[in-house]
């Protein structure tokens, strides 16, 4: 899938993923596990982000995890959604710096 040099670490109730050395600038995805689903927050570039299934909707979060770009959220509730979810996460990975 092309996610090289990924580091991960817990951050309170969340689990964050970083491109290269963990820092606020290199974070590209954050997960929160719940009883019924996995909530995923990603950093997006409004000029290039594509979500054909509109999982992230129109809501843009105000920099909770990411200071640059737009922060968006979606949920994964079943195995069949993983491939599409990874495509959204990969877009975030590609715009993240080290």
Domain ranges of the chain: 6-95
- Model confidence, pTM: 0.89
Nearest CA to 54 out of 31, 30, 74, 80 is that of: 74
Rounded to 10 degrees, the C-alpha dihedral 28/6/9/78 comes to 70
The per-residue pLDDT for range 12-69, each reduced to its tens digit, is 899 999 988 888 888 899 999 999 999 999 999 999 999 999 999 999 988 778 878 8
Question: What CATH topology corresponds to 6-95?
Answer: 3.90.1150
**Radius of gyration over every alpha carbon of the chain, rounded to an integer in angstroms:** 12
The whole-number pLDDT of residue 1 equals 52
């Amino acid at each position: 899938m092309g996610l090289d040099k990924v580091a991960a670490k817990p951050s309170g109730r969340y689990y964050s993923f970083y491109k290269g050395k963990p820092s606020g600038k290199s974070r590209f995805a954050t997960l929160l596990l719940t009883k019924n689903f996995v909530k995923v927050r990603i950093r997006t570039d409004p000029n290039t982000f594509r979500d054909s299934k509109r999982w992230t909707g129109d809501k843009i979060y105000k920099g909770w995890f990411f200071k640059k770009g737009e922060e968006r959220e979606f949920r994964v509730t079943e195995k069949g959604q993983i491939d599409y979810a990874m495509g959204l996460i990969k877009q975030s990975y590609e715009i993240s710096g080290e």
